[in-house]
Structure 1
Amino acid sequence: MSNLSPTSLAVDGSDFRIGIVAARFNDVYVSGLLDGALKTLKDAGVAEGSIVIERVPGSNELPLIARYLAEEGSFDAVIALGVVIAGGTRHYEMVSDSANYGLQEVAIKTKVPVVAGLIVGDNEEQVKERCVGSIPKGAEFGQCALEMAQLRRKYC
């Protein structure tokens, strides 16, 4: 985990249902995030059959499918995974900002926790380290979903 990440809480996820929407763009890196999130969920007891994974073309498409999952009504939390790498134009800023804002909006409107598992890097090396390297952000996103699902159960 990164040095600034919160200490993980022990969460029993055995009765949670988690939706995951993951971009296919930058697939090697998004798949690394997905693997980390899945391992964390399964280690916490979330049954494989209680995890639904949907793939979308890119990060810009994450909010819509996250909303479909949240509105479906049976998910305790949704994890959205995407990777955006800076390029020669500012297009990456537009994609990452709109995806992040859209995911927050989904969570607030549906009252279902949505983990914005977006990695935005200035270069491929930064992204690689966080997705398939020494900073396991996928695991952190999975842990966040577990903790938020537990809080949702407490208050809803």
Structure 2
Amino acid sequence: MSLNSPKAKDIDAKKLRFGLVASRFNEALVDALVARAGELLKNSKRLEIIRVPGAHEIPWGAQQLAATGKFDCVIALGVLIGGDTNHHEMVGDSVSHALQTVAINTGIPVINGVIVANTLAQAEARCTGSINRGAEFVHAALEMAVLKRSLEKKS
């Protein structure tokens, strides 16, 4: 991911509804993402959070939330950290494709907030450090939720 994220739009979350699915694997780091996201969504009309065991289960959780039709956007949060193999990259790729499929099949935007890092230090910088990916994911979700609603009004 680039460090040059777009400037956040000033969007009021009060009337928007969000589903958030987060993994329990690498729990402290994911909890930091959830906390940073929750802070920005505290004024939303509805925020439902579900937890799943790991990153591979995130798309299933996102599918369940999106299928309810209750949410303007679903946010998926997880952390994958490299080890001796490239397993974290394979899981990250699989999860990314699955989340995109959920969004396309349900018509509900899904924000892929699954961090794929090569080292613990990289993951910490993005979850608890100066790179606030949790806030970036929420800003994307806010923008997509507003876009979804505006497109629905036109149809």
User: Aligned Cα RMSD in Å?
Assistant: 1.0
For 1:71, the equivalent position in structure 2 comes to 67
Shift of residue 16 of structure 1? 0.9
Secondary structure of the residue aligned to 1:10 is coil
Task: Please give the residue correspondences for 1:1-156 in structure 2 after superposition, counting only pairs within 5 Å.
Answer: 3-42=3-42, 45-47=43-45, 50-156=46-152
Say which structure, 1 or 2, has more relative contact order (CA 8 Å, 6+ apart): 1
- Unaligned regions of 5+ residues in structure 1, if any? none
State the distance in 2 between where 1:116 and 1:58 align.
14
Q: Distance in 1 between matches of 2:119 and 2:89?
A: 13
SS at match of 2:112: strand
Partners of 1:4 and 1:83 lie apart in 2 by 20
Q: TM-score, length-normalised on structure 2?
A: 0.94
Please give the secondary structure, in 1, of the residue aligned with 2:38: helix
CA distance in 1, matches of 2:41, 2:6: 17
Distance 2:53 2:80 in 1: 12
In structure 2, runs of 5+ residues without a counterpart are none
Contact 1:41-1:143 within 8 A present in 2 as well: no
Q: Percent identity?
A: 48
- Give TM-score scaled by structure 1 length: 0.94
**Aligned residue pairs, count:** 151
Please give the secondary structure, in 2, of the residue aligned with 1:19: strand
Secondary structure at 1:107's aligned position in 2?
A: helix
